[in-house]
A and B are shown apart, each in its own frame.
Chain A
Amino acid sequence: MAKAILKVKNLNVEFDGHKVLDDISFVVDKNDTLAIIGPNGAGKTVLFKCLLGLLPYDGKVEWDKNMKVGYVPQKLYVDNDLPLTVGEFLGFREKDARKAIEVLKQVGFSSDELEKDGSGQLLQSKRLGVLSGGELQRVLIAFALIGNPNVLLLDEPTSGVDVSAEETVYTLTDRLKKESGLTVIFISHELGIVYKHATSVLCLNKEKICFGPPSEAIDEEKLKELYGESVNFHYHEEVH
């Protein structure tokens, strides 16, 4: 049996008396890819922050010893004209520019974009504000990878990213898993992505609606419960 690297037990979070997470329990095994799905305001990001220890909570979040968690935020809330280059941003964590280049290659940037003999502006000297959604996403993943994590937490990597770039991000995480044995936990809205890339899924709407392998855990009933009936197209057609 695979080894559990994360155990969450009876996790409860309240903001000003409002329950945001209600008695959540689940287990993540080594090399799993866990997708967390749920409607807006379901507490997905709050759950992530609890896993990262950024928010106070009741209950237990237990990481296995020696787990290094890399966090990839949803996006950066920076001005477009923020004078901060990709190279400087990665330099916050990695002084050696050559190592930064290696990691950027790992997340799919080409030598042309990163090394001097290529034509055009180097990626490292571009400002964060001018990157496309997909490029920024990959830079953020690179930032997380610099810490040599064995767990990667990706928050809603689909938002603001076009479909092809989104596909790249998940193909990339799949490849990284194969190369370095990563465990991945990601928040997603796309059921297609969940079926294709996740080994297990946690449906969240303040409380745990379902948990397990996607093909077993998700069914129409659960989706109705999760997103509300109006979101279900089949049901919609029958009503009108």
Chain B
Amino acid sequence: MDNNLLVLLIVGALVGASSGFLGSFMVLKRMALVGDALSHVALPGMAIALTMAIDPMLGAFVALTAAVIGVWYLGEKTRVYSEALVGVFFTASLAIGILVTPEPELLEALFGSLDSINITDAVITVVAAVFIFYVVRRISKRLLLGVVSEDLAKSTGVNIAIVNLIYLFLVGLVVALGVKFLGTLLTGALVIVPAVAAKNMSRSLKSFQMTASIIGALSAVVGILVAQNFGISSGPVVVLISVAVFALSHLFRTRN
């Protein structure tokens, strides 16, 4: 195995594991669709970064951070959570992103490419993944209590709004990590699909989070190997692998 492939696999596994882990909360919060579509917002950010000759991952991260603050604001500060508005806004960003992304980079930006991943990305991904796991472990009890009952969480002194904001910020971060090799259309799927597959197979929170992380990492690793072997876009392959796991997960569905 050459070093390059090893780096790719490490990056993929870490992004997959962190996505699955974060996604487990997203599914419990019933924000699966938002999580899925969130990645569309990355495209205009990447396009602007490309034209300014900055790392597109940074552009994606800035755009995603702005988007998660918007989602957070709608959820916390307005009484009705406006899913329709999120849908319109995300699709609009995608359309704008397609128009402003330079033509040669468009396909890569949409569906991901393994060629563009370098050692700097690998280092950033390792650091970010450690950061994500550390922060989530710190906030997970408060976050989950908020999922079970916001009133109950608030009555025990949890500041739900801040916890939710930190969490959504991490989701933005993990999607930004994934955009290079999964593409902006599909990174969101890696947050959601492993988590819904894991939910089918899990009876406790611990196993749910662990299974989601493993499925995420596994889909990325297998997907990258297949994509590399056949010289095709990595994004669709990784997502299809995770969808296959989701289909299989119904066989192991827990009933009680």
List A residues at the B interface (Cβ < 8 Å).
Answer: 49, 52, 54, 69, 71, 73, 76-78, 81-85, 88-89, 91-93, 125, 127-128, 130, 143, 147
Give a binary string over B168-209; 1 marks a CB under 8 Å from any A CB, 0 the rest: 000000000000000000000000000000010011111110
Q: Apart from A71-B151, A130-B256, what are 14 other A-B pairs with CB-CB below 8 Å?
A: A54-B154, A76-B152, A78-B148, A81-B199, A82-B148, A83-B204, A84-B204, A84-B205, A85-B203, A88-B206, A92-B142, A125-B204, A127-B203, A147-B156
Q: Is A77 touching B149 in the complex (CB atoms < 8 A)?
A: yes
With known contacts A54-B151, A73-B149, A76-B148, A93–B207 Cβ distance under 8 A:
no
* Chain B hits for A85, CB < 8 A: 203-205
Of A69, A73, A84, the contact of B144 (CB 8 Å cutoff): A84
Q: Is A83 touching B156 in the complex (CB atoms < 8 A)?
A: no
Q: How far is the CA of A147 from the CA of B157 in the complex (A)?
A: 11
7 CB contacts below 8 A, A to B, read A49-B151, A52-B155, A69-B155, A82-B28, A83-B199, A91-B141, A92-B144
Q: Is B152 touching A73 in the complex (CB atoms < 8 A)?
A: yes
Whether B166 is near chain A, meaning CB under 8 Å from some CB there, is: no
Instruction: Give 4 nearest A-B pairs by CB, closest first.
Output: A71-B155, A83-B208, A83-B202, A92-B141
Whether B86 is near chain A, meaning CB under 8 Å from some CB there, is: no
Q: How large is the interface on B (under 10, 10 to 19, 20 to 34, 35 or more residues)?
A: 20 to 34
Identify the closest chain B residue to A143 (Cβ): B152
Identify the closest chain B residue to A85 (Cβ): B204
Q: Is A52 touching B203 in the complex (CB atoms < 8 A)?
A: no
Count of A-B contacts judged by CB separation below 8 Å: 58
From A76, A83, A85, A128, residue with most partner B Cβ within 10 Å: A83
Q: How far is the CA of A5 from the CA of B148 in the complex (A)?
A: 30
Whether B145 is near chain A, meaning CB under 8 Å from some CB there, is: yes
Q: How far is the CA of A72 from the CA of B253 in the complex (A)?
A: 32
List B residues at the A interface (Cβ < 8 Å).
Answer: 28, 141-142, 144-145, 147-149, 151-152, 154-156, 199, 202-208, 254, 256
Q: How far is the CA of A93 from the CA of B144 in the complex (A)?
A: 12
Interface of B is mostly: helix
Smallest CB–CB gap between A96 and chain B, Å? Answer: 14
Of A54, A69, A84, A130, the contact of B148 (CB 8 Å cutoff): A84
Q: How far is the CA of A166 from the CA of B202 in the complex (A)?
A: 31
Q: Is A88 touching B148 in the complex (CB atoms < 8 A)?
A: no
Q: How far is the CA of A203 from the CA of B202 in the complex (A)?
A: 45
Identify the closest chain A residue to B30 (Cβ): A79
Smallest CB–CB gap between B53 and chain A, Å? Answer: 46
Q: Is B204 touching A88 in the complex (CB atoms < 8 A)?
A: yes
Smallest CB–CB gap between A182 and chain B, Å? Answer: 16
* Chain B hits for A81, CB < 8 A: 199, 254
Smallest CB–CB gap between A133 and chain B, Å? Answer: 16
Q: Is B151 touching A73 in the complex (CB atoms < 8 A)?
A: yes
* Chain B hits for A52, CB < 8 A: 151, 154-155
From A84, A88, A93, A125, residue with most partner B Cβ within 10 Å: A84
Q: How far is the CA of A78 from the CA of B147 in the complex (A)?
A: 8
Smallest CB–CB gap between B103 and chain A, Å? Answer: 45
* Chain B hits for A49, CB < 8 A: 151
Q: How far is the CA of A179 from the CA of B10 in the complex (A)?
A: 57
Smallest CB–CB gap between A136 and chain B, Å? Answer: 11
* Chain B hits for A54, CB < 8 A: 151, 154-155
Q: How far is the CA of A89 from the CA of B152 in the complex (A)?
A: 12
Q: How far is the CA of A71 from the CA of B199 in the complex (A)?
A: 29
* Chain B hits for A73, CB < 8 A: 149, 151-152
Smallest CB–CB gap between B205 and chain A, Å? Answer: 5
* Chain A hits for B254, CB < 8 A: 81
Of B145, B151, B203, the contact of A83 (CB 8 Å cutoff): B203
* Chain A hits for B156, CB < 8 A: 71, 93, 147
Smallest CB–CB gap between B230 and chain A, Å? Answer: 36
Q: Is A71 touching B148 in the complex (CB atoms < 8 A)?
A: no
Q: Is A76 touching B141 in the complex (CB atoms < 8 A)?
A: no
